[in-house]
Amino acid sequence: MGLSLGEEDERFGCHEKYYEQAEESGDIHVIENVPEYPVKSMVDRFLNHGDENGPWKCEYAQVDPRLFGFSTARPRVYGLAWNSNVVQWDPKFEFLEILECLKESNLRDYLSNMSSKVRPGWQVADLCQLVRTGRARTDTVDNHLMTITTNSTRLYSKDKGRYMSSKELLSSHVFPVTQRHSKKVGSPMLQIDTTEGKAAKMAGNSMNIPTMGAFVLAAVLGLS
């Protein structure tokens, strides 16, 4: 979910509601968003309730799925948030040691430099760019997890062999946002104070499954 306008953005309330439910539903959470998404400040604000030294800790890094052969328009930020009163991050975990060996100041610099050197001509549309570019992505539904985004009616499904309707896109969300979808998949409905029509226009992108899986694996290995 984007935050292009900060707290003035009409979607900001969805972030607040998400973190509120996250605090109640578990002690480890994986966060994925656009590169500029302020992971730590959001965790401190909503999970630690404004206390920078609160129990909720986080690690995050920018990863470009294109470096692994997956089509996206830009890198993503992936983060792990955990309740340190329940679980702890292992400081000796190999993933952190690898990051410290990079000559660039951070992972974002490293991946940005790699992208420009290896694939300077990449031109791949994000979901929200399909309307403007007219490019159809045939891999999104099959290789990506849908988040709260149905702002494109040109999303193609290999399984269905056609473009998906806006209702189909809405029902493909990981978190059900309608009572019907919640009942169908047997999962609690994401409580957002907005209409189904507004939810269908929310900004967002799909999550790359292999990259997200790698971060879930990092959570399993690095947290104890």
pLDDT tens-digit readout, 17-32: 778 777 877 888 888 8
Domain tally, the chain: 2
Same domain assignment for residues 174 and 199: yes
Mapped onto helix, strand or coil, the DSSP state of residue 175 is coil
Same domain assignment for residues 52 and 145: no
**Do residues 137 and 155 make contact, with C-beta atoms less than 8 angstroms apart?**
yes
Q: Would you state the pLDDT for residue 211?
A: 64
Same domain assignment for residues 68 and 179: no
Q: Which value, in Å, is the radius of gyration of the alpha carbons in the chain? A: 18
Confidence of residue 48 (pLDDT cuts 50, 70, 90): very high
Same domain assignment for residues 12 and 100: yes
Is residue 46 domain-resident?
Answer: yes
> Is the pLDDT score of 80 beyond 70?
yes
Burial 136-150 (b: 16+ CB within 10 A, else e): ebeebbebbbbbbbb
> Is the pLDDT score of 87 beyond 80?
yes
Same domain assignment for residues 79 and 154: no
Same domain assignment for residues 106 and 217: yes
Pairing of strands 162-163, 28-33: unpaired
Q: Would you state the pLDDT for residue 51?
A: 92
Is residue 168 domain-resident?
Answer: yes
Same domain assignment for residues 162 and 214: no
pLDDT in tens, 175-224: 565 677 667 656 666 555 555 555 555 444 556 666 666 667 777 777 88
Is residue 121 domain-resident?
Answer: no
Same domain assignment for residues 178 and 142: yes
Domain range enclosing 61: 7-114+209-222
Is residue 167 domain-resident?
Answer: yes
What DSSP string describes 26-79?
Answer: -SEEEEEE-TT--HHHHIIIIISTT-TTSSEEEEEEEE-GGGGT---SS-EEEE
**Do residues 72 and 64 make contact, with C-beta atoms less than 8 angstroms apart?**
yes
pLDDT in tens, 94-140: 554 444 444 444 444 445 455 555 544 433 333 333 333 344 444 44
Same domain assignment for residues 103 and 140: no
Q: Would you state the pLDDT for residue 141?
A: 43
Residue of 156, 191, 164, 165 lying closest to 176 (CA atoms): 191
> Is the pLDDT score of 49 beyond 60?
yes
Same domain assignment for residues 175 and 64: no
> Is the pLDDT score of 59 beyond 70?
yes
